[in-house]
């Protein structure tokens, strides 16, 4: 999918998620994010933050104890939408571009968050993008990943594991779950080993 020029259906779905009826699906985001192993004081890098639907919940979890989110997304269209939506979240910074090229400090982040994005990263740059994400994490830092396994151009779970493992991550835990509209998903926690 071209996220510089998202199709109408995508933008409609995205807008719906930000309305009251959309709250049917929002708990699926909110409950997942609230249950992540985050104390609230972390620096989190969200890769592929899109229009900020998940970011809003991350920002809420992190606001209580001074945590912050750095969003990185390659699409100007999506980051423009996210910037508007995140205006009232001072603990969120949004950067447009390729994580491989942006000036982001190595080892500065406690956690990474990737939601419905890994499969959308061009295969030709996927491994290098994972490696760049890995570098931003401190040793012992965690990657929280949730990806579709059937719809939306999903990747096979083994292919996700392969690219993340080649990128240096170790799978700590995973669950195969399913949610209305989003369908079957792979929820996993990966670790950047301490040494």
Ligand X SMILES: C[S@@+](CC[C@H](N)C(=O)[O-])C[C@H]1O[C@@H](n2cnc3c(N)ncnc32)[C@H](O)[C@@H]1O
Element (H, E) at 188: strand 183-191
Closest residue by Cα to residue 97 from 64, 62, 67, 132: 132
Q: Given candidates 70, 129, 136, 188, which one binds ligand X under the rule CB under 6 A?
A: 129
Q: Which stretch binds ligand X (CB under 6 A): 35-43, 70-78, 159-167, 176-184?
A: 70-78
Distance CA 58, CA 90 (A): 12
Q: Residue 42 or residue 117: which is nearer to ligand X going by CB?
A: 117
Q: Given candidates 33, 61, 71, 117, which one binds ligand X under the rule CB under 6 A?
A: 117
Helix (DSSP H) and strand (DSSP E) numbers for the chain = 6, 7
Distance CA 12, CA 38 (A): 31
Angle (nearest 5°) at CA 166 between 161 and 170: 60
Does the footprint of ligand X cover residue 136 (CB under 6 A)?
no
Q: Given candidates 121, 143, 160, 164, which one binds ligand X under the rule CB under 6 A?
A: 121
Does the footprint of ligand X cover residue 49 (CB under 6 A)?
yes
Q: Residue 76 or residue 139: which is nearer to ligand X going by CB?
A: 76
Does the footprint of ligand X cover residue 48 (CB under 6 A)?
yes
Q: Which stretch binds ligand X (CB under 6 A): 48-56, 132-140, 157-165, 179-187?
A: 48-56
Closest residue by Cα to residue 106 from 6, 183, 192: 192
| HEC string for 33-88 | HHCCCCCCCCEEEEECCCCCHHHHHHHHHHHCCCCEEEEEECCHHHHHHHHHHCCC
Does the footprint of ligand X cover residue 70 (CB under 6 A)?
no
Nearest approach, Cβ of residue 117 and ligand X (Å): 4
Does the footprint of ligand X cover residue 67 (CB under 6 A)?
no
Does the footprint of ligand X cover residue 147 (CB under 6 A)?
no
Does the footprint of ligand X cover residue 116 (CB under 6 A)?
yes
Number of chain positions touching ligand X (CB under 6 A): 20
Interface residue list for ligand X (CB under 6 A): 3, 47-50, 53-54, 72-75, 78, 98-99, 115-117, 120-121, 129
């Amino acid at each position: 999918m071209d996220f510089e020029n998202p199709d109408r259906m995508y933008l409609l779905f995205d807008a719906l998620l930000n309305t009251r009826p959309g709250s049917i699906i929002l708990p699926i985001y909110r409950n997942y994010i609230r249950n992540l192993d985050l104390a609230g004081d972390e620096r989190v890098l969200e890769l592929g933050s899109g229009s900020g639907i998940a970011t809003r919940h991350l920002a809420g979890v992190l606001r209580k104890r001074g945590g912050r989110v750095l969003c990185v997304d390659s699409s100007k269209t999506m980051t423009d939408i996210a910037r508007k939506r995140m205006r009232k979240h001072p603990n969120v910074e949004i950067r447009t571009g390729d994580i491989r090229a942006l000036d982001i400090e190595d080892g500065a982040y406690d956690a990474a968050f990737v939601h419905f994005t890994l499969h959308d990263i061009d295969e030709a740059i996927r491994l290098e993008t994972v490696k760049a994400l890995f570098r931003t994490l401190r040793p012992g830092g965690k990657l929280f990943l949730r990806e579709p396994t059937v719809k939306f151009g999903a990747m096979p779970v083994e292919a996700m594991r392969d690219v993340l493992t080649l990128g240096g991550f170790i799978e700590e835990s995973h669950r195969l779950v399913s949610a209305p509209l989003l369908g079957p998903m792979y929820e996993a926690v990966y670790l950047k080993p301490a040494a």
